[in-house]
Amino acid sequence: MEQVPRIRLDDVTMRFGGLDAVRNCSFDLPAGRITGLIGPNGAGKTTAFNVIAGLLSPTLGRVVLDGEDITDLPAYRRQEKGLSRTFQLAHEFGRMTVIENLMVAAKNDVGEGIVNAVFRPSRCLSQEREAYDKALKTLEFLEISQLAGEPAGNLSGGQKKLLELGRALMQEPKIMLLDEIGAGVNRTLLGKIADKIKQLNEESGYTFCLIEHDLDFVSRLCHGVIVMAQGELLMTGTVDEVRRDERVIEAYFGGGRYQDAS
C-alpha cells in the first residue's frame, strides 16, 4: 500500500525577479519518514522549505498537507497544523534570553491573550510552569543549560544552531523541517541529535525533512533522499541510489554552473 504523503509539493515554481530559485518542482515528504533534501549550493533547498513553511508564497503550484491545499495558509497557521522548521542562518530572538527563546515557542493560549495579560496575570502560571520545565529539559538535551539566562544574541554560531533545533523541539511538531542543523555543531553532539531524530521518528512517528550537505549524516538517518540542482528536482531515491547516480555526481562535482569557475 502506498503511503499518504504528509507534504506534497505540486509543480511549484518560486521566482525572484528573473531567477527561478525553484522551478516546476514536485516531491513528497511521506508521513512517518525521514527524508533528506540535498543538492549543491544555490539549488533551491532553503527556498523550497520557505515555500512549505509559508514564508514565501510560490509563484506557481501548490503545497498540500495531508491532502489539504495549504498554499494560501499564512505561516503561523501552518504551525498549528504541526509544522515546524529551523532556519539555516540562525534566526534567534536576539534580545531575549535563551530560556525565553524556547518558552515563547510553546504556546500559552491563556497568557498570550492581552486581556488575561493585564487583568488575570496569574491564570497562565501553570502553563508557564510546563513550558519552563520543557525548556529546561530541551536545554539539558542540547547541552546548553548554562546559557539559559544569556541573551540569545550573544551566543556563538553553533550555539545558535542548537537553539534553532531547541525551538523546533519545543513545539512538539508532527513534521520538522531542519535546514542544515548539523552545520557548525560538534561531532559528538551531532551524533546525539541524530539519535534524537531517530527516536522521535520511530517512537513518536514524527515526519522529518533534513537539508544536509554531509552525505554520511544523511545516509545514517534518511529513508529516502530528494536531490535538487539549480532549482529543479534532479531525482529521488534511496541514499545508495543517489550516491551512484551519474546526474548527482555531475551536479556536485562537475558540469553546470561550476564549470565556469575553473
Partner 1 sequence: MELPGIAFYIVAFLTMGGIYAILCLALNMQWGFGGLFNAGIAGFYAVGAYTAAILTSAGSSAHLGGFDLPIVVGLICAGIASGIVGWAIARICVRLKADYLAMASIGIAEIIRLAIVNEEWLTNGSLGISRIPRPLEAFYSGRAAEVVFVVFVWLIVAVTFLVARRLQQSPWGRVMRAIRDNEETAASIGKDVQRFRTETFVVGSVFMGVAGALSAHYFKFFSPDATEPLLITFLAWVMLIAGGSGNNLGAIAGALAIWAIWSLTEVVTQQLPPDWATRSSYIRMLLIGLLLQFVLQRFRSGLFPEKSPKLRISREK
Footprint on this chain of Mg ion (rule: CB under 5 A): 46, 88
> Of 157, 154, 161, 110, nearest to 131 (Cα)?
110
C-beta of 210: minimal distance to Mg ion in Å?
Answer: 12
* Residue 54 interacts with ligand ATP (CB under 6 A): yes or no: no
Residue 95 interaction partner, one of Mg ion, ligand ATP, partner 1, none, beta carbon < 5-8 Å per kind: partner 1
26 near 235, Cβ under 8 Å?
Answer: no
* Chain centroid offset of residue 9 CA: 15
Cα separation of 224 and 237, whole Å?
6
CA distance 72 to 64: 10
Q: Which of 11, 24, 69, 94 binds partner 1 (CB under 8 A)?
A: 94
In the set 88, 97, 127, 171, which binds ligand ATP (CB under 6 A)? 88
147 near partner 1 (CB under 8 A): no
Interaction between residue 157 and partner 1 (CB under 8 A): no
Among 41, 122, 188, 262, binds ligand ATP (CB under 6 A): 41
Shortest spacing between CB 56 and ligand ATP, in angstroms: 7
User: Judged by CB, which is closer to ligand ATP: 16, or 253?
Assistant: 16
> Number of residues in contact with ligand ATP, rule: CB under 6 A?
12
The nearest distance, CB 148 to partner 1, in angstroms, is 10
Provide the strand spans (E) within the chain. Answer: 5-16, 19-30, 34-38, 60-65, 68-69, 83-85, 175-179, 207-211, 224-229, 232-237
Calpha distance 174→206 (Å, rounded): 5
